[in-house]
């Protein structure tokens, strides 16, 4: 047992399962090292405890920024009296853009100081992207060896190829090791944080031209235009999309009824990707096209949580 174990609260939002998979592995890695890690899924009513030693906020990147659901959850955190260290974890199909700076600022106003940030590149789950890249996949086969070589060069290179070569951006053992190194740093910093002179993680200052500006100026109004349209002939009224909607803007007038969209949609595409019947369409994308069914088997293998380690 680790001497003086630490307690980490992990505030989590996952759209299609990638972030949840990576975060569950991170929590288990912290527990294997003798520390306490509590997963707080905002879609399941998770709340941050004042007694934790440090906070980790995990979410997917959406339009070069954190999802609106995790932004709202952080904005609604109760302020703390004494500063605490915080760390940011993201999954994205490209570069995180303004994801980390936005959350770091929100957390600062709640009394937390962000000491580190880390992102894991995954296959894109964005329907508008997938729907138009998938059909030309066969034409890109000649470039796949180059993409695979670039993917061995780290997150930045993989972020560039992930948007073109779907299925070639799956995390590897190197990504898992990088996540564990990030957690090791988080443990060391939490033991003796220097709030007067915190480091500035490189990932809080992304250098990709345009992504920061795009993330900071993206508005809910534009996001809502990417919201769902339901095809009545396909919809069975199962209600899965209603239960999973982080903005709680989908409703059913009665059981088995076709859902209707109310105000507040953030364009996260959770309903589109999770619909078992492919009955959801969105702007520029017919129902079911480019649907993402969740983490690949390769990604599940990399971030598997072994039963014997529990």
| Contact assessment for residue 35 and residue 8, using Cβ atoms and an 8 Å cutoff | yes
Whether the CB-CB separation of 273 and 129 falls below 8 Å is answered with no
Domain boundaries, the chain: 7-123+170-217, 220-281
**pLDDT tens for residues 5-46?**
999 999 999 989 999 999 999 999 999 999 999 999 988 777
pLDDT in tens, 254-278: 999 999 998 888 888 899 999 999 9
Alpha-carbon gap, residue 90 to 67, rounded angstroms: 10
Q: Comparing 280 with 201, which gets the higher pLDDT?
A: 280
Q: 288: pLDDT confidence band, cut at 50, 70 and 90?
A: confident
What is the per-residue pLDDT across 114-134, written as a single tens digit (0 to 9) for each? 999 999 988 888 887 777 776
Burial of 159 (0-12, 13-18, 19+ CB in 10 A): buried
Q: What is the DSSP string of 260-284?
A: EE-TT-----HHHHH-TT--EEBTT
Backbone angles phi, psi at 306, to 5 degrees: -75, 140
Whose tokens are 């999973």? That residue is 244
Could you tell me which CATH number the domain at 220-281 has?
3.30.70.20
- From the DSSP assignment, how many helices (H) and strands (E) are in the chain? 12, 10
Q: How far is it, in rounded angstroms, from Cα 165 to Cα 140?
A: 7
Share of the chain above pLDDT 70, in %: 78
pLDDT digits (tens, 9 = 90+) for 158-173: 666 666 666 667 788 8
**CA–CA separation, 239 vs 257, rounded Å?**
8
310 pLDDT higher than 60: no
Distance set, CA 115 to CA 46, 85, 111, 187 (Å): 23, 6, 13, 11
CATH topology of domain 7-123+170-217: Rossmann fold (3.40.50)
List b or e across 26-49, with b for residues whose CB sees 16 or more CB atoms inside 10 angstroms.
bbbbbbeeebebebbebbeebebe
Cα–Cα nearest to 296, from 93, 27, 65: 93
The whole model's pTM is what? Answer: 0.86
28 and 308 in contact (C-beta within 8 Å)?
Answer: no
Question: What pLDDT, on the 0 to 100 scale, is given for residue 165?
Answer: 66
Instruction: Report the alpha-carbon distance of residue 143 to residue 48 in Å, rounded.
Output: 45
Q: Is-contact 90 198, C-beta < 8 A? A: no
Closest CA to 56 of 18, 101, 96, 107: 107
DSSP characters over 117-169: EEEEE-----HHHHHHHGGGGGGGGGGHHHHHHHHTT-HHHHHHHHTTSTTS-
- Using DSSP, state whether 53 is helix, strand or coil: coil
């Amino acid at each position: 047992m680790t001497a003086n174990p630490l307690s980490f609260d992990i505030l989590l939002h996952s759209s299609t399962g990638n972030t949840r998979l990576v975060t569950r592995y991170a929590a288990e890695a912290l527990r294997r090292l003798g520390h306490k890690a509590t997963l707080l899924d905002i879609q399941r009513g998770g709340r941050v405890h004042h007694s934790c030693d440090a906070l980790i906020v995990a979410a997917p990147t959406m339009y070069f920024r954190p999802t609106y659901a995790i932004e709202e959850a952080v904005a609604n955190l109760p302020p703390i009296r004494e500063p605490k260290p915080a760390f940011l974890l993201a999954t994205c199909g490209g570069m995180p853009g303004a994801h980390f700076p936005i959350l770091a600022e929100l957390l600062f106003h709640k009394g937390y100081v962000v000491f580190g940030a880390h992102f894991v590149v995954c296959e894109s789950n964005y329907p508008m992207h997938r729907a138009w890249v998938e059909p030309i996949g066969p034409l890109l086969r000649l470039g796949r060896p180059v993409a695979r070589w670039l993917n061995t060069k780290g997150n930045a290179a993989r972020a560039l190829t992930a948007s073109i070569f779907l299925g070639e951006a799956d995390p590897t053992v190197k990504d898992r090791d990088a996540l564990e190194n990030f957690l090791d740093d988080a443990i060391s910093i939490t033991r003796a944080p220097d709030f007067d002179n915190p480091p500035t993680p490189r990932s809080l200052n992304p250098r990709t031209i345009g992504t920061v500006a795009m993330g900071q100026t993206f508005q809910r109004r534009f996001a809502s235009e990417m919201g769902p349209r339901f095809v009545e002939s396909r919809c069975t009224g199962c209600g899965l999309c209603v239960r999973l909607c982080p903005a709680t803007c989908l409703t059913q007038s009665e059981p088995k009824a076709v859902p209707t969209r109310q105000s507040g949609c953030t364009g996260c595409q959770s309903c589109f990707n999770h619909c078992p019947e492919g009955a959801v369409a969105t702007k520029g994308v017919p129902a079911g096209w480019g649907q993402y069914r969740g983490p690949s088997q390769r990604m599940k293998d990399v971030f598997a949580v072994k039963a014997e380690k529990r």
